[in-house]
């Protein structure tokens, strides 16, 4: 998805692809096949690159260190990327910086689990510090018995350093804010968006987050820019947060946030920017990792609504285009060239327009986006 802005800017993208049929390999001419843990493959490929960046967070630190020692320019750097790879490291660092997080602890034993539960109450959110994505590696546990299988894995793989336990946050909704930051330190934030979740999967993104308290928007933007700066992030980063309600000493309430996850790459919650912002997250990521000045992250319309397309009833989706395009000439369809599997994130659709502050006009956009996603999934057939 970086290929379109790379084409516009006449930049040459090369992808180390997991297979010849990988989405990126289908659209990028220079796509040697190699695994992201294969140092020889990475070295052979990286020697032709001015800058190396990442599609996911799973390249091991020892591999990154070897590439860095070769003189390969990596963005984000391994020192920053570790906070997107390791949720325990992230929690420790953000807590040290005074940024708001759910209450959390590291646990290796049933006793440590019980002690934390005594403090924050059940249920607990149990996370594998490494290797999780899209709700995988996360479980809401309602009693000690549900944590037991996790404890048996401690010391290995993603649980090498123990479990990350977090309180189950009583949140109003989930928000995300994306920022771009360059090696020179320039940084820019897109508007805060609402990410609607169903079953742990993000299904809709609404930009900007409707009805967001302006003070919360400001503190969240400042927080995300501070994280980017303190962690030395280069490229784009998503900060996914819970919106919560806090009661003040006078009994009044105010909106606040708790950081849920960090992703140091273009992110699903930023796909709306392809059509909805002056500078898409993919163009911004290219600019940032090349240390070019960042583009304007402003929204182009009052509202932009995106809905994710998950694998559904159809083995191939081209057959849906005729109806969808005829029904809604303003619909922007984005499919990722992935094979269809039930529940797999295959693409997204975006619509934009409406009137600023008018929630009815946002609802009309949401309805169009949701209909299109439902139709692509076979949930509706007209």
Return the DSSP state at 243: E
The pair of three-digit structure tokens given for residue 142, joined into one six-digit string: 């309602």
Separation of alpha carbons 305 and 352, rounded Å: 6
Buried b (16+ CB within 10 A) or exposed e, 144-180: eeebeebbeeeeeebbebbbbbbbebebebbbbbbbb
Region of 24-32, 102-110, 130-138, 218-226 interacting with its own copies (CB under 8 A): 24-32
Contact indicator for 281, 236 with CB cutoff of 8 Å: yes
Which two three-digit tokens encode residue 212? 């967001």
Q: By CB under 8 A, is residue 220 in contact with its own copies?
A: no
Which one among 121, 200, 229, 330 touches its own copies, defined by CB under 8 A?
330
133 touches its own copies (CB under 8 A)? no
Cβ distance to its own copies smaller for residue 267 or 287? 287
Choose one: 129-137, 144-152, 314-322, 369-377; the region binding its own copies (CB under 8 A).
314-322
Q: How far is the CB of 2 from its own copies (least distance, A)?
A: 10
For 28, other C-beta atoms within 10 Å of its C-beta total: 17
Does 335 participate in binding its own copies (rule CB under 8 A)? yes
Q: Which range touches its own copies (CB under 8 A), out of 61-69, 210-218, 224-232, 272-280?
A: 272-280
Q: Is 318 exposed, middle or buried (0-12, 13-18, 19+ CB in 10 A)?
A: exposed
Q: Per CB under 8 A, does 378 bind its own copies?
A: no
Q: What share of the chain is helix, strand, coil (3-state, %, to 5)?
A: 35, 25, 40
Chain centre to alpha carbon of residue 75: 17
Minimum Å distance from CB 282 to its own copies?
Answer: 10
Question: Would you state the structure tokens that stand for residue 325, as one six-digit string?
Answer: 């395009």
Residue 322 marked in a binding site = no
Residue 199 CA, distance from chain mean position? 16
The backbone torsions φ and ψ at residue 287, rounded to the nearest 5 degrees and listed phi first, read -60, -45
Q: Is 307 in the site for its own copies (CB under 8 A)?
A: no
CB distance 288 to 196 below 8 Å: no
Tokens read off for 30: 């220079």
Which of 357, 325, 56, 89 has the alpha carbon at shortest distance from 212?
Answer: 357
> Is residue 16 near its own copies by the rule CB under 8 A?
no
Task: Please tell me the distance from the alpha carbon of residue 109 to that of residue 139, in angstroms, as a whole number.
Answer: 17
**Judged by CB under 8 A, does residue 1 bind its own copies?**
yes
When asked if residue 26 is in the footprint of its own copies (CB under 8 A), the reply is yes
Interface region with its own copies, contact rule CB under 8 A, candidates 5-13, 32-40, 138-146, 192-200:
5-13
- Choose which of 168, 292, 302, 340 interacts with its own copies (CB under 8 A): 292
Closer residue to its own copies (CB): 31 or 77: 31
Residue appearing with tokens 């499919």: 335
Question: Does residue 340 bind its own copies (CB under 8 A)?
Answer: no
Is 87 annotated as contributing to ligand binding?
Answer: yes
Of the pair 60, 353, the CB lying nearest its own copies is at: 353
Out of 19, 21, 29, 148, which residue is the one contacting its own copies (CB under 8 A)?
A: 29
Q: Which is nearer to its own copies, 258 or 340 (CB)?
A: 340
Is 368 a residue that touches its own copies (CB under 8 A)?
no
The binding site for ATP consists of: 87, 127, 166-169, 174, 260-261
Binding residues for its own copies (CB under 8 A): 1, 3-4, 6-10, 12, 25-29, 31, 188, 274, 278-279, 287, 292-296, 298, 300-301, 317-318, 321-322, 325-326, 329-330, 332-337, 347
Could you tell me which residues are annotated as the binding site?
87, 127, 166-169, 174, 260-261
């Amino acid at each position: 998805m970086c290929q379109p802005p790379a084409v516009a800017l006449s930049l040459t993208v090369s992808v180390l692809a997991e297979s010849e049929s990988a989405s990126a390999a289908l659209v990028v001419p220079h796509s040697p096949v190699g695994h992201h843990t294969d140092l020889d493959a990475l070295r052979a490929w990286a020697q032709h690159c001015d800058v190396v960046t990442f599609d996911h967070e799973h390249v091991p630190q020892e591999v990154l260190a070897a590439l860095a020692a070769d003189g390969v320019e990596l963005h984000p750097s391994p020192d920053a990327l570790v906070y997107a790879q390791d949720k325990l490291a992230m929690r420790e660092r953000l807590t040290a910086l005074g940024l708001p997080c759910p209450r959390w602890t590291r646990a290796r034993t049933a006793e440590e689990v019980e002690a934390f539960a005594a403090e924050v109450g059940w249920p607990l959110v149990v996370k594998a510090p490494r290797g999780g994505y899209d709700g995988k590696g996360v479980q809401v546990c309602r009693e000690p018995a549900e944590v037991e299988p996790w404890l048996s894995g401690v010391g290995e793989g993603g649980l090498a350093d123990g479990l990350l336990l977090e309180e189950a946050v009583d949140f109003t909704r989930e928000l995300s804010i994306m920022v771009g930051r360059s090696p020179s330190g320039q940084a820019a934030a897109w508007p805060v968006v609402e990410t609607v979740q169903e079953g742990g999967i993000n299904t809709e993104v609404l930009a900007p987050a409707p009805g967001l308290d302006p003070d919360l928007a400001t503190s969240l933007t400042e927080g995300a820019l501070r994280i980017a700066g303190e962690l030395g992030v280069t490229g784009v980063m998503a900060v996914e947060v819970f919106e919560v309600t806090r009661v003040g000493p006078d009994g009044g309430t105010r909106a606040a946030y708790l950081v849920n996850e960090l992703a140091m790459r273009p992110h699903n919650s930023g796909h709306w920017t392809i059509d909805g912002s002056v500078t898409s997250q993919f163009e911004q990521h290219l600019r940032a990792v090349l240390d070019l000045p960042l583009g304007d992250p402003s929204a182009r319309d009052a509202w932009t609504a995106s809905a994710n397309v998950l694998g559904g009833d159809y083995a191939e989706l081209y057959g849906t285009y005729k109806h969808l395009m005829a029904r809604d000439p303003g619909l922007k369809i984005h499919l990722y060239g992935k094979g269809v599997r039930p529940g797999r994130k295959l693409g997204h659709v975006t619509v934009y327009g409406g009137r600023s502050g008018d929630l009815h006009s946002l609802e009309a956009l949401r309805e169009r986006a949701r209909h299109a996603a439902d139709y692509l999934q076979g949930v509706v057939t007209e």
